Amino acid sequence: MTPFDPARLQASTVCLPPGPWATVLDCLCDHFKAIDRSQWVDRFARGRVLGADGQAISAGDPYKRGLRLHYFREVPNERVIPVQEAILHVDEHLVVADKPHFLPVTPGGAYVEQTLLRRLIHRLDNPHLVPLHRIDRHTAGLVLFSANPESRSAYQRLFPERRIEKRYQAIAAALGQHTFPLVHRSRLEHGEPFFRMHEVQGPANSETHARVLEKNEEHWRYELSPITGKTHQLRVHMAALGAGISNDPFYPALLDVEDDYQRPLKLLAQSLSFDDPLTGQARRFETRLRLDW
C-alpha cells in the first residue's frame, strides 16, 4: 500500500498540544481560535480532517496529546485575484516564476487557492513545490521554488549563507540629499500592528545597498540589493531614507485602502544570481516584468 502523503493533497499538519480537552474537536477549536466551531464541525462531516494514516476521523474522537492530524485550509467564498503569474523556468530541481503584484506567495489569512504556490502546484501537477524565499504580496517579480524534496536543503542553504544575490528595482521620490551609491543598515523589529516593521535602537540586523538607475523629474528609479532578508526590509529602509516606495500602503504611514490594481507598489524583484549547489554552474534569472513610471 502506498503510504499516505499529505503533501500530495496539500493538507496542513498539526500535532495536538497538551491541554484539558475531551475531544479532538474541542482541542482544534481552542487551538485555532480564528476558525468558528461550526466550520470545524463541517470539515469533520465532509472528511476534511484526517488521522496520520490518511483516514477521516470523527469530531467526537477522544483528545490525545501529540495526536498527529492533517486538515485542509479553506476560505469560504475566497476572492479571486485578477492577475496572472508567469512560469519562467522549470527543471528537475527548481521552478522560477514571475509573481504579479497583489498575489500572495503562500496560503494565509484570506487566501488559499489564490496564491502563487497553489496556482503553480495545479499548473505543474507537483504537490512538492516549496518556495525557497518569499516576497511581499504587494511586491512583484521573481520567486524561486524547490521542486524536489531530495535536493531542497542544498538550495535552501543559499539564502541563510548569503550565497545568492538578489536585486530589486523601486520607484520613489528623489533623494537628492543623499550621495549614491549608499549602504543603509538598521535594526528592524515588529511593531504595531504586528505586520509592520520599524527601525529601533540597537545593533543592526538588516542591510541594503542602493544606487540610482534613472531619474524622472520628481521620481527616481532605484536598484536595491538586500544583503539580509528581513520582513519589509526594502520598504522600511526607503521610508527611513526619506522616500517611501510609490503606492506603499504600509510605509511610511499605514493607509486604510483596498487593493487598487491600477496603483501597485512600485517594487519589483528584478534578478536572482547564484552558483548552483549541485553543479557549480553560475545561474541568473531575470524578471520579464517592468515598473512603469
Task: Give me the tens of pLDDT residue by residue for the chain, a chain 293 residues long.
Answer: 455 565 555 678 899 999 999 999 999 999 988 888 998 999 999 998 999 888 999 999 999 999 999 988 777 788 999 999 999 999 999 999 999 999 999 988 788 889 999 999 999 999 889 999 999 999 999 999 999 999 999 999 999 999 999 999 999 999 999 999 999 999 999 999 989 999 999 999 999 999 999 999 899 999 999 999 999 999 999 999 999 999 999 999 999 889 999 999 999 999 999 999 999 999 999 999 999 99
Per the structure, the count of domains in the chain is 2
Same domain membership, residue 128 and residue 273:
yes
Neighbours of 160 (CB within 10 A): 8
Last residue of a domain, one of 71, 98, 113: 71
| Phi, psi angles (nearest 5°) of residue 239 | -65, -40
* Domain hosting residue 65, numbered range: 6-71
Same domain membership, residue 233 and residue 103:
yes
Report CA 101 to chain centroid distance, whole Å: 12
Same domain membership, residue 93 and residue 64:
no
Same domain membership, residue 151 and residue 266:
yes
- Cα 151 from Cα 154, distance rounded (Å): 6
In a domain? residue 77: no
CATH number at residue 218: 3.30.2350.10
Same domain membership, residue 169 and residue 58:
no
In a domain? residue 293: no
Instruction: Let me know: does 146 contact 152? Beta carbons within 8 Å.
Output: yes
pLDDT score recorded for residue 2: 52
In a domain? residue 265: yes
Same domain membership, residue 243 and residue 106:
yes
Same domain membership, residue 242 and residue 209:
yes
In a domain? residue 147: yes
Last residue of a domain, one of 46, 71, 96: 71
In a domain? residue 276: yes
Neighbours of 90 (CB within 10 A): 16
Same domain membership, residue 222 and residue 155:
yes
Same domain membership, residue 54 and residue 95:
no
Same domain membership, residue 199 and residue 132:
yes
In a domain? residue 291: no
pLDDT score recorded for residue 1: 42
Same domain membership, residue 118 and residue 49:
no
- Grid coordinates belonging to 79: 476572492
Element holding 187 (H helix, E strand): strand 182-190
CATH number at residue 14: 3.10.290
Same domain membership, residue 40 and residue 10:
yes
Last residue of a domain, one of 25, 41, 71: 71
